[in-house]
Amino acid sequence: MSLKHSYTLAAPFYDAFLTAATHGARKRSLAALADGPPRHVLLLGVGTGLDLPHLPSQHRYVGLDLTASMLKRARPRAAGLHFAPLRGDVQRLPFHDASFDVAVLHLILAVVPAPTLCLAEAVRVLKPGGELLVFDKFLKPGEAGWKRLLNPLTRHVATRLDVVFEDVLDAVGGLNVTANEAALASGWFRLIRLRKPTF
């Protein structure tokens, strides 16, 4: 089953599983957008728009998702925001280089088949000095156990359980980590902030 198909089927039930569980972590991550001048922000894998209620109104947002059914549910949550929903693949972004000031990657790197490509594309469309806000579940380097054993099943239905953020970061290169902290499930889920160098 493709991700597009599985998430189209999951769209009506997605919020019931994730709203309460991820509310606090999303709010903490997106607090980075609260201050400062208006910016152009890309929401990668915006889904049903669970991030949207936490976003300040001064910025311009583009919310990209693979499925029309997810975007349909996101639109009502964008009330009061300058928000443009767009259907597309986070691994092949339809934007020019250096188009955005901030990229938000919430629960997307551990979903896509190629997380390294997803992060590299986010970096490509980010302006020098731009920031990436990441919230997702990651294995620790060298970690084994049940998560890896279940991954062959879960990766074809909804999510990957084998992504090591440090490996993805090393493969992409050229980013500065400004924050990396535990968010949920004893540190399995993390909040990470990255900055693209200006040179």
Q: Quick check: 182 pLDDT over 60?
A: yes
- The more confident residue out of 111 and 132 is 132
Write down the mean pLDDT value for the chain.
85
What is the per-residue DSSP string for 12-64? HHHHHHHHHHHHHHHHHHHGGGSSSS--EEEEET-TT-TTGGGS-TTSEEEEE
Q: Please give the pLDDT value at position 98.
A: 97
Mean pLDDT of 158-184: 88
- What pTM, to 2 d.p., does this model score? 0.84
Q: For position 178, which CATH number holds?
A: 3.40.50.150
99 or 154: which carries more pLDDT confidence? 99
Domain that holds residue 162: 3-195
Question: 117 — phi, psi (to 5°)?
Answer: -65, -40
Chain center to CA of 46: 7
pLDDT score of 199 = 77
Whether 107 and 45 have beta carbons less than 8 Å apart is answered as: yes
pLDDT, mean of residues 181-187: 76
Of 36-50, 90-104, 149-163, least confident by mean pLDDT is 149-163
pLDDT in tens, 6-34: 544 454 555 656 666 678 899 999 999 99
Number of domains in the chain: 1
Tens of pLDDT, residue by residue over 120-157, are 999 999 999 999 999 999 988 765 554 444 444 444 44
**Across 29-50, average pLDDT:** 95
Lowest mean pLDDT among 128-142, 165-179, 184-198: 184-198
